[in-house]
Structure 1
């Protein structure tokens, strides 16, 4: 058995060993868990609001139809889409604050352990 075979055997064995989770990785996962729901909801709501706003612009500019009724529908859809986009950021901040409050104790304790203050 040559050295290359030994290295290969060690790398394969590493894949089957239980993985250690170090504290920095745990801290990153907790931080992500605190921030991810707010990010996902903000992106989803932002995309929906933008699509509604764009649809309203298409109606208003006569891309989907011509006439006063289509223009009124377009203006109303544009206002609804803009309102959704405007409320998106305050909602994101609120959800982010809620997520940080939920995981604050665990994150702070783990950070203290990492920095050696505990």
Structure 2
């Protein structure tokens, strides 16, 4: 058997053998699991808030709408509402992130402790 055939056979066998994940990889996945949902929610909420703010700006500057005083007043009100939503986005993100951290804290700390204990034994 040629050396290249042996390497190829080992690669194929590795593809079909059960995968074992290290504790460091599992810890990284848990950390990403904690941070991903709040980040997605924050970006989505911030985008919607910015679009609301922009719509208010357009109405207020008479880019869209009838150009009347009522449309301008509505634009100012909508713009202020969009600003308020943008202002609460970061506190909402932090609250959501802290809730997720609290939910997964035990698992992450336990896994990190196992990793550090294994490293200390070596």
TM-score, reference length from structure 2: 0.88
Q: Which runs of 5+ in 2 are unaligned?
A: none
What residue number does 2:75 align with? 74
What residue number does 2:12 align with? 12
Distance 1:5 1:102 in 2: 49
1:105 paired with 2:106, answer yes
1:6 deviates by 2.3
Distance 1:101 1:34 in 2: 9
Distance 1:51 1:5 in 2: 59
1:75 deviates by 0.7
1:32 paired with 2:32, answer yes
1:23 deviates by 0.2
Deviation digits for residues 60-96 of structure 1 (CA, Å, limit 9, x no counterpart)? 1111132212211211110111111111111111111
What residue number does 2:93 align with? 92
Distance 2:46 2:115 in 1: 37
TM-score, reference length from structure 1: 0.91
Q: Number of paired residues?
A: 118
1:98 deviates by 0.6
Q: Which runs of 5+ in 1 are unaligned?
A: none
1:12 deviates by 2.1
Deviation digits for residues 17-68 of structure 1 (CA, Å, limit 9, x no counterpart)? 1110110011111111112221111111101000111111111111113221
Distance 2:6 2:62 in 1: 70
